[in-house]
Structure 1
Amino acid sequence: MATYQGQMLEALGDPTRRTIFESLAGGPRSVAEIANGLPVSRPAVSQHLKVLKDAGLVSSTSVGTRRLYAVDQEGLAAIRGYFERFWHQALAAFAEAAEKPPEEKT
C-alpha cells in the first residue's frame, strides 16, 4: 500500500477521528462545533484534526478568528481510488466466475 493511503487509513482507524471526519461530511465546521457532543475536549479534537489534516483528509481555512475544517476533496478522492481498485478486482473476479460453464464451476 502506498504511504499516502496508509497514512489515511491509519488516521481513520481511530474511532474519534472517524467520527470527526464523518461530522465534516455536512460541511465546514469549527473545532467548537465539532467538539460539541463528543466525549473529548476541544484540545483533543484539535489534535485529532491535525492528524486528519496531516493525512490529507481534512483542510482548514481561517474565517476571522476561527478556523473552519472541511473534508479535503483531493484526499477523499485518493482514498476512494484506493478502495475502488479492490471493488473493480472483485467485480472482475465475479464476472469471470459467473461466465464459466457449469461443468467448470466447483
Structure 2
Amino acid sequence: MDREIELIVKKPTQSASGAETLGEESLGADFWAFMQEVGGNEDTDGKIKHLVNRTYTIRWDDTVQQKSNALILVDGGQRFEVLHVIEIGRKKHLEIRVKRYE
C-alpha cells in the first residue's frame, strides 16, 4: 500500500433558493492504498474519451463500506467515480473499483 488517496462523500445539500444540489465532504482521513490498473479503452462518440478502470485496495473501514457508491476517490489530483466496494476477508481489506473519463 504505497499510494495516498483521499475519499470524498457526495452529499445532497439545499441552496438558498431551495434547489437540491450535490455537495462534497472529505471523510477526514487520508488512506493508503494499493492501485492496480484493470484496463481502459477509447470511446469515439462525437469526441474521443479515454476510459480508465482501476482498483484500489485499502484497509477495511466501516464508513467506506457503507457509503460505497456515494464516494469520489482522489489520487494525485485525478478524480475517480467509485463503482463498487468489495470486502476482502472478514473486515481485513476493501477493494474499491473506480472509473474515470478523461
More helix as a share of residues: 1
Q: TM-score range by the shorter chain?
A: 0.3 to 0.5
More strand as a share of residues: 2
Task: Choose 1 or 2 for highest CA Rg.
Answer: 1
